[in-house]
Structure 1
Amino acid sequence: MKISILVSDLSSAGAGRWGGGSVRSFLLAQALQRLKYQVEILGFVFGQEAAVIPQSEIMVSQFTGYNYPKFLISASQLLKKLDGDIIYAMRPKPTTFGLALLKKLKTNQPIILDIDDWELSWYGGEKWQYNFSFKQLYRDIIKPDGALRQPDHPFFLKKTEGMTQKANAITIHTKFLQDRFGGIYLPNGKDTELFNPHLYDPEESRVYYGLSGYRILMFPGAPRPYKGVEDVLTALELINEPDLKLVIVGGSPYDDYDAQLSKKWGNWIIKLPKYPSTEMPKIVAAAHIVVVPQRNTPAALAQFPLKLTDGMAMAKPILATAVGDIPEILGGNGYLVDPESPEQIAEKIKLIFQNLEAANERAVKARERCTEKYSINSMSNILESVITKL
Structure 2
Amino acid sequence: MNLASGSTTKVSLVVSDLSGGGAVRAFLLAQVLKKLKYQVEVVGFQFGRELYAAPPDGIVVRSVPGNNYPQVLKSASQLLKKIDGDIIYAVKPKPTSFGLSLLKKLQTRRPVILDMDDWELSWHGGDDWNYHPSLQQLYRDLLKENGQLRHPDHALYVKWTEGLVARADAVTIDTQFLKNRFGGVYLPNGKDTDLFSPHPYNPDATRKQYGLSDYKVLMFPGAPRPHKGVEDVLVALDQLNDPTLRLVIIGGNPYDNYDDTLIERWGRWIIKLPKQPVEKMPEIVSAAHVVVVPQRDTLTAQAQFPLKLTDGMAMAKPILSTCVGDIPDILNHTGYLVAPNSPDQLAAKIQWIFQNFEEAIDRGLQARKRCVELYSVDAMATILSNVIATL
TM range (shorter): over 0.9
Q: Matched residue of 2:246: which SS?
A: strand
- After superposition, what is the alpha-carbon deviation per residue over 1:359-379, rounded to whole angstroms, capped at 9, x for unaligned? 101110110000000000001
Mapped contact 1:191–1:375 kept (Cα < 8 A) = yes
Partner residue in 1 for 2:360: 359
Partner residue in 1 for 2:219: 218
Q: Does 1:6 align with 2:24?
A: no
- After superposition, what is the alpha-carbon deviation per residue over 1:94-114, rounded to whole angstroms, capped at 9, x for unaligned? 000000111111111111000
- For residues 23-172 of structure 1, what are the structure 2 equivalents within 5 Å? 23-50=24-51, 53=54, 57-172=58-173
- After superposition, what is the alpha-carbon deviation per residue over 1:44-102, rounded to whole angstroms, capped at 9, x for unaligned? 11143346745850111010111111111100001112111110000110000000111
- After superposition, what is the alpha-carbon deviation per residue over 1:232-269, rounded to whole angstroms, capped at 9, x for unaligned? 11111111110011111111101111111111111111
Q: Does 1:322 align with 2:330?
A: no
CA shift at 1:131, angstroms?
Answer: 2.1
CA shift at 1:15, angstroms?
Answer: 4.4
CA shift at 1:294, angstroms?
Answer: 0.2
- After superposition, what is the alpha-carbon deviation per residue over 1:264-304, rounded to whole angstroms, capped at 9, x for unaligned? 11111111111111110000000000001000101111111
**What 5-or-longer segments of structure 1 have no aligned partner?**
17-22
Partner residue in 1 for 2:271: 270
Specify the code of the residue in structure 2 equivalent to 1:70: Q
Mapped contact 1:32–1:380 kept (Cα < 8 A) = yes
Pairs aligned (count): 383
- For residues 197-236 of structure 1, what are the structure 2 equivalents within 5 Å? 197-236=198-237
* Distance change >3 Å, CA 298–CA 51, structure 1 → 2: closer
Q: Matched residue of 2:199: which SS?
A: helix
Mapped contact 2:56–2:279 kept (Cα < 8 A) = no
CA shift at 1:122, angstroms?
Answer: 1.0
Mapped contact 1:191–1:376 kept (Cα < 8 A) = yes
TM-score by length of 1: 0.96
1:217 and 1:47 map into 2 onto residues whose CA distance is 31
Give identity over the alignment, percent. 63
Specify the code of the residue in structure 2 equivalent to 1:3: V
Partner residue in 2 for 1:191: 192
2:171 and 2:285 map into 1 onto residues whose CA distance is 32
Mapped contact 2:17–2:44 kept (Cα < 8 A) = yes
Specify the code of the residue in structure 1 equivalent to 2:13: I
* Distance change >3 Å, CA 168–CA 48, structure 1 → 2: same
2:134 and 2:217 map into 1 onto residues whose CA distance is 54
Q: Matched residue of 1:371: which SS?
A: helix
Specify the code of the residue in structure 1 equivalent to 2:114: L
Q: Does 1:173 align with 2:174?
A: yes
- For residues 201-350 of structure 1, what are the structure 2 equivalents within 5 Å? 201-350=202-351
**What 5-or-longer segments of structure 2 have no aligned partner?**
1-8
Q: Matched residue of 1:232: which SS?
A: helix
Q: Matched residue of 1:198: which SS?
A: coil
Specify the code of the residue in structure 1 equivalent to 2:290: I
2:27 and 2:163 map into 1 onto residues whose CA distance is 26
1:128 and 1:179 map into 2 onto residues whose CA distance is 20
1:51 and 1:284 map into 2 onto residues whose CA distance is 19
Mapped contact 2:27–2:55 kept (Cα < 8 A) = no
1:51 and 1:165 map into 2 onto residues whose CA distance is 29
CA shift at 1:229, angstroms?
Answer: 0.6
Mapped contact 1:330–1:366 kept (Cα < 8 A) = yes
